[in-house]
Structure 1
Amino acid sequence: MARNPRCSPAKFLANFPSLFRIFLLSLLCLLACPVSGHDYADALRKSILFFEGQRSGELPPDQRVRWRRDSALHDGAAAGVDLTGGYYDAGDNIKFGFPMAFTTTLLSWSIIDFGRTMGAERPNAVKAVRWATDYLLKATALPGVVFVQVGDPFSDHNCWERPEDMDTLRTVYKIDGRHPGSDVAGETAAALAAASIVFRSRDPSYSRLLLDRAVKVFEFADRHRGAYSNSIRRGVCPFYCDVNGYQDELLWGAAWLHKASRRRAYREYIIRNEVVLRAGDTINEFGWDNKHAGINVLISKEVLMGRSPDLKSFQNNADAFICSILPGISHPQVQYSPGGLIFKAGGSNMQHVTSLSFLLLAYSNYLSHANHAVPCGDISASPALLKQLAKRQVDYILGDNPMRMSYMVGYGARYPQRIHHRASSLPSVAAHPAHIGCKAGSRYFLSPNPNPNLLVGAVVGGPNSTDAFPDSRPFFQESEPTTYINAPLVGLLAYFSAHP
């Protein structure tokens, strides 16, 4: 990133305490030092286009990612149901319901909060939501049952083949009254409820269908409590095993149902269960397995608007979340790389970067409307600061980083070429019509050549804690894209395309 040589405030900061000095240095460089400009509208278009490359099922006539073809057309047949459609979550060919539902919730939230700045891309974003919700409606069509996954992950991960050639086991996994899964069911209820808001004025009958189903799925999740990975362990562990517990998804589902329906019962549920379901736990975590920071930010909007003073504890938690991720304030769970990227332990770090940055931006808007700032000890975190912090993360993704590369495929002059993604790395059906078997694809996986198919808009797991990036398929934690990396990024790019 191009830095201004005059950005040297060290003498001015010398008399401040060290911790505050580190924070101010970060702040001054964020606000005063110019960075390269980005075409956020182009990045927005590409971030939404990525979802078309992840589609499963029969592709529509307006499919824009033309190197993809129909796939998994018999999903659900083994259980006597139609489970075609939906999204592959990442670079494999499994449809994992937990991350798919979270992706749907965040895509919907992106449209709800930032759709007005999406311009011509808003219809494409809405289509991306509907591709997911059409599938989630199929997965929840039977009362008391939620189909939560299609595909055996061990069989799939033993192969490297195109989704169009898929001949691995398409095992169907479900939860029911005897095999609960409040986590995935709660997230599915949240997704359906959030999407009902997206379609409220666009397609009222579809919106009502989504909300009615969300109510039923949430009732099921709450009545039959338990973690889905305890019910179908081999199917989801260690891939999307519930480590955090199911309690947060119940609060998360109730929060979205309250937002979508305005029914007092959900507000009372939140108040009654705030302590029992541990709303104040791990306040700086937000992702497919942990909703705590998202719950607190979402509910805080009600408090900041002056509508729900009895939910003040959620705003307190949201404020604590903000303080815990400010640069220069040491926190064991949130660190920054030397280049300024949010970094949390574990794989696919960009999922944390985009989801936490989304919350920074959403909360900054809520704070702005309430003329409020976040007190963090001697520091007052203004809405403008939170926007700058979020923008810094987006700019890092788009190329303002030590590697001088964009981590979004197809954006900028330099971006990852060898992403860990089966369909992208294997020849397309158009280029190679013959079937490519399970092990025959291994030579493409191990090849040093760039992927033949450009998965435009895909954001990969990203660099390690030292800002290094290998650009190699076997390094899946760094080189694999996921839908839940892109979903919150859609909202961020929509905002910055209108407020650069």
Structure 2
Amino acid sequence: MTKLMMDSATTFSLKPLFLFFLIYCSLFNQLSFAFTSEEYNEALEKSILFFEGQRSGKLPSDQRQTWRGDSALSDGSSYHVDLVGGYYDAGDNVKFGLPMAFTTTLLAWSVIEFGSSMQNQIENARAAIRWSTDYLLKAATTTPDTLYVQVGDPNLDHKCWERPEDMDTPRSVYKVSAKNPGSDVAAETAAALAASSIVFRDSDPSYSSKLLEAAINVFNFADRYRGSYSDSLNSVVCPFYCSYSGYHDELLWGASWIYKASGINSYLQFIHSNGHTLGADDDVYSFSWDDKRAGTKILLSKEFLEKNSEEFELYKAHADNYICSLMPGIPGYQAQYTPGGLLYKGSESNLQYVTTTAFLLLTYANYLNSNGGTPVSCGTSRVTEQNLISLAKTQVDYILGNNPRKMSYMVDFGENYPKHVHHRGSSLPSKHTQPQHISCNDGFQYLSSGSANPNTLVGAIVGGPDSHDSFSDDRNNYQQSEPATYINAPFVGAVAFFAGKSYV
């Protein structure tokens, strides 16, 4: 049984403000409620189930979000390619390649780190990954030196409010190529395929090999023809998923995952030769679909912890800086928290940063635990793996309902959760209840309706509350009420960690 209580040595090494923060969160938990392993298991199951509500293409016979139907069955056909499948990223009906690939990488990383705690959900997790990798394989291998990165015109799609089953907006196809490069989206796709190859290595070796081969090819394409897909595709991807951080972070991230999946020495050499120019020297304090630097530092720190290799010492040092940035009241502290204890990064879909941060905290805690449990040094303070777990737990529990509003930000978890989710398919009557076509403009009456969504998007984590812990359950407030695949993906790993543990 793991205890969240800190030992006396740890207590005296931490600054008073951090102690106050942890004590406050602990008291808040006790005064409200604590989650059981069964409840964490329920959250795990639902966090994976959410992805079935985001599926595009021909749905399988075992589809559990049964209000959904087949959609976008001719994607790519007018361009003579098969791009059926994959995921809609959020509440719209566009298939954006960059967030889809990041979602896949984080789902795969969740299974790699915490799959042993997923128990009867491990097959559902693999199915969620495979739904995406099947699509990414087609996008990456159909045409040489080409990666198909998007289906659907977002500017026209966002002028409609209609079910994916009814889409009549153009299913335009967009790609990056040697002449119009997109190293960011290509290298992230390589990371997704490589990480997923690890997931399927034992259960489906031939599929795993296919994924790794495609990862290597698409990474080499990303590296050979360098450039940002935002520059190549402009208003098609901006401002929706503009690559604000550039493509350097994805190149280092992609190479790191291929090295982890393959052990091929040339990728190790790439990391060492290019790391300083691709972001290894940067201290950044968030991890998202756009910026992979913090995640790369955590991932590569394992190499130093396991092998004590000086070549990876830089990544361990910057991983420590990232951890220090999250800990209130100690040297290097950068993060902001709401009065209720939630990490706060931005007003739009803030929970995407919370779930990625919780995942990295728990992953790093695991790495420390597996290598002697040496604390992180933050100036004169020491931060142990248990401190990381404690902070991650406050974030996970806040999302599940342990917050000032006593509201779960996961749909269908607990009794009080968002009912007016900014999501087209969930907010419109399903084809089962209203089979007739609902046109582009006719759907807006459902967007504006005060009624709860007729279809429950089970497991969806919405954008979340503001900096004062306030939340408006309003379908028009997409900043707070829209779910996204990349919010859920890291949460799968984080909640799996707690589902597999017992706490007192």
Task: Give the TM-score, by structure 1 length.
Answer: 0.95
1:56 maps to 56
Residue 69 of structure 2 aligns to which amino acid in structure 1? R
Residue 24 of structure 2 aligns to which amino acid in structure 1? C
Query: Do structure 1's residue 440 and structure 2's residue 437 form an aligned pair?
Result: no
Distance (Å, rounded) in 2 between the aligned partners of 1:378 and 1:31: 24
Contact 2:252 2:278 in 1 (8 A): yes
Task: Quote how far apart the aligned CAs of 1:278 are.
Answer: 1.8
Moved more, 230-239 or 281-290: 281-290
3-state SS of the aligned residue for 1:368? helix
Structure 2 residues not aligned, in runs of 5+:
1-10
Cα distance change, pair 117–233 in 1 and its aligned pair in 2 (3 A): same
Residue 363 of structure 2 aligns to which amino acid in structure 1? A
Superposition map of 1:314-325 within 5 A = 314-325=315-326
C-alpha offsets along residues 409-448 of structure 1, whole Å, 9 cap, x if unaligned?
0000100000100000000000111100001011100011
Task: Quote how far apart the aligned CAs of 1:334 are.
Answer: 2.4
Cα distance change, pair 122–82 in 1 and its aligned pair in 2 (3 A): same
Distance (Å, rounded) in 2 between the aligned partners of 1:442 and 1:27: 45
Distance (Å, rounded) in 2 between the aligned partners of 1:327 and 1:409: 30
C-alpha offsets along residues 311-360 of structure 1, whole Å, 9 cap, x if unaligned?
10000000000000112348796210110000002410000000011000
Superposition map of 1:73-472 within 5 A = 73-141=73-141, 142-306=143-307, 308-329=309-330, 334-371=335-372, 372-472=374-474
Distance (Å, rounded) in 2 between the aligned partners of 1:390 and 1:262: 31
Residue 449 of structure 1 aligns to which amino acid in structure 2? S
Distance (Å, rounded) in 1 between the aligned partners of 2:151 and 2:351: 25
Contact 1:283 1:318 in 2 (8 A): no
Residue 102 of structure 1 aligns to which amino acid in structure 2? F
Contact 1:187 1:249 in 2 (8 A): yes
2:7 maps to none
Distance (Å, rounded) in 1 between the aligned partners of 2:346 and 2:330: 17
2:17 maps to 22
Task: Quote how far apart the aligned CAs of 1:274 are.
Answer: 1.2
Moved more, 313-322 or 27-36: 27-36
Moved more, 373-382 or 405-414: 373-382
Contact 1:103 1:483 in 2 (8 A): yes
2:34 maps to 37
Residue 225 of structure 2 aligns to which amino acid in structure 1? H
Residue 430 of structure 1 aligns to which amino acid in structure 2? H
C-alpha offsets along residues 177-225 of structure 1, whole Å, 9 cap, x if unaligned?
0000000000000000000000001100000000000000000000000
1:67 maps to 67
Contact 1:30 1:388 in 2 (8 A): no
Distance (Å, rounded) in 1 between the aligned partners of 2:254 and 2:478: 31
Distance (Å, rounded) in 2 between the aligned partners of 1:441 and 1:199: 40
Residue 140 of structure 1 aligns to which amino acid in structure 2? A
C-alpha offsets along residues 354-398 of structure 1, whole Å, 9 cap, x if unaligned?
001100000011011112110112321100110111011000000
Distance (Å, rounded) in 2 between the aligned partners of 1:130 and 1:213: 14
Moved more, 409-418 or 326-335: 326-335
Task: Quote how far apart the aligned CAs of 1:282 are.
Answer: 4.2
What count of residue pairs does the alignment treat as equivalent?
486
Residue 265 of structure 2 aligns to which amino acid in structure 1? R
Distance (Å, rounded) in 1 between the aligned partners of 2:383 and 2:15: 13
Distance (Å, rounded) in 2 between the aligned partners of 1:334 and 1:235: 33
Task: Quote how far apart the aligned CAs of 1:20 are.
Answer: 3.0
Distance (Å, rounded) in 2 between the aligned partners of 1:446 and 1:280: 48
- Superposed CA RMSD in Å reads 1.7
Contact 2:58 2:70 in 1 (8 A): yes
Task: Quote how far apart the aligned CAs of 1:283 are.
Answer: 2.4
3-state SS of the aligned residue for 1:343? coil
Task: Give the TM-score, by structure 2 length.
Answer: 0.94
Contact 1:333 1:344 in 2 (8 A): no
3-state SS of the aligned residue for 2:147? strand
Task: Quote how far apart the aligned CAs of 1:29 are.
Answer: 3.2
Contact 2:57 2:86 in 1 (8 A): yes
1:485 maps to 487
Contact 1:283 1:292 in 2 (8 A): yes
Structure 1 residues not aligned, in runs of 5+:
1-12
Contact 1:280 1:292 in 2 (8 A): no
Distance (Å, rounded) in 2 between the aligned partners of 1:432 and 1:163: 14
Moved more, 371-380 or 467-476: 371-380
Contact 2:465 2:471 in 1 (8 A): yes
Distance (Å, rounded) in 2 between the aligned partners of 1:187 and 1:219: 12
Distance (Å, rounded) in 1 between the aligned partners of 2:309 and 2:132: 32
C-alpha offsets along residues 245-285 of structure 1, whole Å, 9 cap, x if unaligned?
10000000000000000111111110111111122324212
Residue 241 of structure 1 aligns to which amino acid in structure 2? C
Same amino acid, percent of matched pairs? 56
Distance (Å, rounded) in 2 between the aligned partners of 1:314 and 1:332: 19
Contact 1:94 1:153 in 2 (8 A): yes
Residue 51 of structure 2 aligns to which amino acid in structure 1? F
